[in-house]
């Protein structure tokens, strides 16, 4: 298990709100892309995303009222099912979700999740990015110190 996924699991386990299984799965899929630059994520999605050559791109933008629905409500569940269906088997599902979590105003289905699911994950995503960035800095510092000591 990668360090990104381990850190994501820790964050989900101690989240101050209930995180659904669908959200956990998406969050873990996206964790590996947490330190990638948004432009590289966009490029990967454009080249490999199921939605990039879809005959009807509007499918990924269901009813606007979905953003206002609550967990367990029929509309939110319908959009979740649509997301699971549309994004099933997409090779860049994690990258797509990572990109949407980087942006505040995304609407529609990204990475198989509805906008409300993503809104509930954004605070965890920001914390994941901070923790992974801190880990990168301390690893870089440790490597530099080891190299200096060895020379």
Q: How far apart are CA 83 and CA 87, in angstroms?
A: 6
Mean pLDDT rounded to a whole number for the chain: 83
- Per-residue confidence band for 143, with pLDDT thresholds at 50, 70 and 90: very low
Instruction: Find the mean pLDDT for residues 25-48.
Output: 92
User: Residue 110 CB: number of other CB atoms within 10 A?
Assistant: 26
Express each pLDDT in 83-129 by its tens digit. Answer: 888 888 999 999 999 999 998 877 888 999 988 899 999 999 999 99
Which residue is associated with the tokens 């809104």?
Answer: 119
Q: Would the pLDDT of 65 be above 60?
A: no
| Cβ contact 35:132 at 8 Å | yes
Q: Would the pLDDT of 149 be above 70?
A: no
Instruction: Find the mean pLDDT for residues 58-87.
Output: 73
Half-sphere exposure of residue 90: CA atoms within 13 angstroms, side-chain side = 31
Instruction: Find the mean pLDDT for residues 66-85.
Output: 73
Q: Would the pLDDT of 144 be above 60?
A: no
What is the pTM for the complete model shown?
Answer: 0.80
How much is the pLDDT for 72? 62
Q: Shortest CA distance to 112 belongs to which of 129, 127, 91? A: 91
Which residue is associated with the tokens 């953003």?
Answer: 67
- Per-residue confidence band for 151, with pLDDT thresholds at 50, 70 and 90: very low
Q: Tell me the three state secondary structure of residue 100.
A: helix
Which residue is associated with the tokens 């005959």?
Answer: 55
Instruction: Find the mean pLDDT for residues 27-44.
Output: 92
């Amino acid at each position: 298990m990668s360090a990104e996924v381990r850190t994501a699991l820790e964050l989900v386990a101690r989240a101050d709100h209930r995180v659904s299984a669908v959200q956990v799965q998406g969050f873990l899929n996206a964790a590996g892309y947490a330190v990638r630059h948004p432009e590289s994520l966009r490029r990967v999605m454009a080249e490999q995303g199921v939605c990039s050559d879809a005959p009807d791109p509007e499918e990924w933008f269901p009813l606007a009222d979905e953003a206002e629905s609550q967990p367990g409500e029929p509309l939110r569940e319908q959009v979740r099912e649509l997301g699971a269906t549309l994004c099933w088997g997409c090779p860049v599902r994690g990258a797509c979700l990572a990109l949407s979590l980087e942006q505040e105003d995304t609407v529609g289905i990204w990475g198989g999740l509805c906008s409300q699911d993503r809104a509930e994950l954004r605070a965890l995503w920001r914390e994941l990015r901070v923790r992974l960035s801190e880990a990168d800095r301390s690893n870089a510092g440790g490597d530099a110190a080891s190299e200096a000591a060895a020379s």
